[in-house]
Amino acid sequence: MQHFSDGLSTLVLAYVVSVIGSLIGLACMARAQAEPGRAVKTRWTVFGAFAIGGVAIWLMHFIAMLGFDVPDASIKYSVPLTALSAVVAIVVVGAGLSLVTLVRFTKMRLLVAGTLAGLGVAGMHYLGMSAIRFRGEISYDRTLVALSFLIAVVAATAAFWFTLVVKTTAARLAAGLIMGVAVTGMHYTGMAAVRVTSDPTIPAPRGTSAFDLVFPVFVTSALVVAALLWMLFTSDDDALGEPV
């Protein structure tokens, strides 16, 4: 039986954060493509990985998980696994971005990059779910799990295509909205796959509550977003695309 509650306000906030992170990350990705030097390309690719992997994907997941609830159960989170899920998202997305920013663009590399980014979204989600501790167990509907992976890969690939092929401000905005759909759509499809079984015989969970993590997570995320925006708006060259 499923036991979770994701309110509309949480969904909207999660989606907005995902879109913001995606727009920043895709702007960094465009900047990486436009720059001639490999060192500068690498720097912008790393920035893009933090924006998409850390903000658009991981922070969105964290916000959405604030709505996760098991009635009459105390829910805790493993901090090491939660932190590892953020690292996985950033590293895998960075690997995907590097295939289209550090080497010559081809359709095959775009497909591989979108697949890697999509797998990063999904892998981060299920690794983050493994950090949950409560008196019970979580299992999944395999069909919905497969669908969640497919949504992430297809939408991430589409977002990359918009950014790399259609170089206008409107296209970049569309790419950010699509990437937001990839992340939130994957998350809520994955949550629909959740099956919770309570077991009062299991010892009381150890770990940290989600709300105890809110302050450090949001402060760190705000600093990352501020730093990325500062880098984008203080850089000399504008590779974000021309207005339509």
Please state the φ and ψ torsions of residue 120, each to the nearest 5 degrees. -65, -40
Strand, helix or coil at 186?
helix
Tell whether 162 is covered by a domain: yes
Residue 24 lies in a domain: yes
Residue 3 lies in a domain: no
How many percent of the chain have pLDDT more than 90?
25
Q: Which residues contact 90 (CB under 8 A, 6 or more apart)?
A: 49, 50, 53, 54, 58
What is the domain count for the chain? 1
What is the Cα–Cα distance from 83 to 78, expressed in whole angstroms?
9
| Residues pairing with 180 in the sheet | none
Residue 2 resides in a domain? no
Rounded to an integer, what distance in angstroms lies between the CA atom of residue 182 and that of residue 39?
Answer: 30
- The per-residue pLDDT for range 74-84, each reduced to its tens digit, is 888 999 999 99
The answer on pLDDT for 241 being more than 50 is no
How does pLDDT run across 23-56, given as a tens digit for each residue?
998 889 888 888 888 888 999 999 999 998 899 9
- Residue 229 falls within a domain, yes or no? yes
Residue 164 inside a domain? The answer is yes
Does the pLDDT at position 95 exceed 50? yes
- 1, HSE (Cβ side, Cα atoms, 13 Å): 8
What is each CA distance from 78 to 81, 82, 86, in whole angstroms? 5, 6, 13
In a domain, 242, yes or no: no
The answer to the question of residue 85 being in a domain is: yes
In this prediction, residue 109 has a pLDDT band, given cuts at 50, 70 and 90, of confident
Do 209 and 185 form a contact (C-beta atoms < 8 A)? no
The pTM score is: 0.84
Q: What is the pLDDT of residues 175-196, one digit of tens each?
A: 888 888 888 888 889 888 998 8
Phi-psi region of 136 (alpha: psi -120 to 50; beta: other; left: phi over 0): left
Question: Looking at the predicted structure, is the pLDDT value of residue 134 above 60?
Answer: yes
What does the pLDDT read at residue 206? 85
**Containing domain of residue 92, as a range?**
8-234
Structure tokens belonging to residue 39: 């060192």
> Quick check: 240 and 175 in contact, CB under 8 A?
no
Please say if the pLDDT value at position 116 is more than 90.
no
